[in-house]
């Protein structure tokens, strides 16, 4: 079974009684071609290169749909701007955010995941999602500072 992202999205759209449109396809494609954590604004800029008439609200609403379909996850860093990241092929992961250069470094940690499970059990909490962000100065910036 091929679980292509487009297929997942289309299934979600149809399942919800919604309609497939050119704009939604374009926005999904654009999002799928990103690597970084993109904001609605970023995507809006990219999408406009292909379709100058598309509106900001459409991008915003479509990203909400993509998130609901399970293809994206919303992340908010300290600047308060919502960004989206892929969920496919990128299991649970966390973020280092460099306060100097704004770089975002993703990392995985079985230890954190295991500890989360332990804690959830201890507190009787049902986990739906989590965000672990570490803010600081990255290797590169520390090197630059030293010189």
Partner DNA sequence: GTGTATGCAAAGCATTTGCAACGAG
Partner DNA sequence: CTCGTTGCAAATGCTTTGCATACAC
Query: Which residues contribute to the site for a second copy (CB under 8 A)?
Result: 76, 78, 80, 82, 96, 98-99, 105, 107, 109, 111-112, 115-116, 118-120, 123-139, 142
By CB under 7 A, is residue 34 in contact with DNA?
A: no
Query: What's the token pair of residue 106?
Result: 């993703």
Q: Are 75 and 63 within 8 A, CB to CB?
A: no
Residues 39-98 that bind DNA (CB under 7 A): 39-41, 51, 53-58, 60-62, 64, 80-82
By CB under 7 A, is residue 12 in contact with DNA?
A: no
Task: List C-alpha distances in Å: 52 to 47, 63, 80, 143.
Answer: 8, 18, 27, 42
Q: What are phi and psi of 84, to 5 degrees?
A: -120, 145
Positions touching DNA (CB under 7 A) are: 13, 17-24, 39-41, 51, 53-58, 60-62, 64, 80-82
């Amino acid at each position: 079974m091929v679980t292509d992202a487009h297929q997942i999205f289309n299934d979600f759209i149809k399942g919800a009684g919604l309609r497939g449109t050119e704009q939604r396809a374009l926005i999904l494609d654009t999002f799928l071609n990103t690597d970084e954590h993109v904001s609605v604004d970023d995507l809006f800029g990219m999408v406009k290169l292909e379709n100058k008439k598309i509106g900001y609200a459409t991008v915003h609403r479509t990203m909400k749909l993509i998130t609901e379909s399970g293809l994206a996850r919303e992340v908010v860093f300290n600047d308060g701007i919502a960004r989206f990241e892929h969920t496919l092929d990128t299991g649970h992961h966390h973020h280092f955010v460099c306060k100097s250069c704004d770089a975002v470094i993703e990392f995985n940690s079985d230890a954190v995941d295991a500890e989360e499970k332990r804690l959830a059990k201890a507190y009787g909490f049902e986990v739906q999602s989590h965000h672990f962000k570490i803010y600081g100065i990255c290797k590169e910036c520390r090197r630059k500072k030293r010189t």
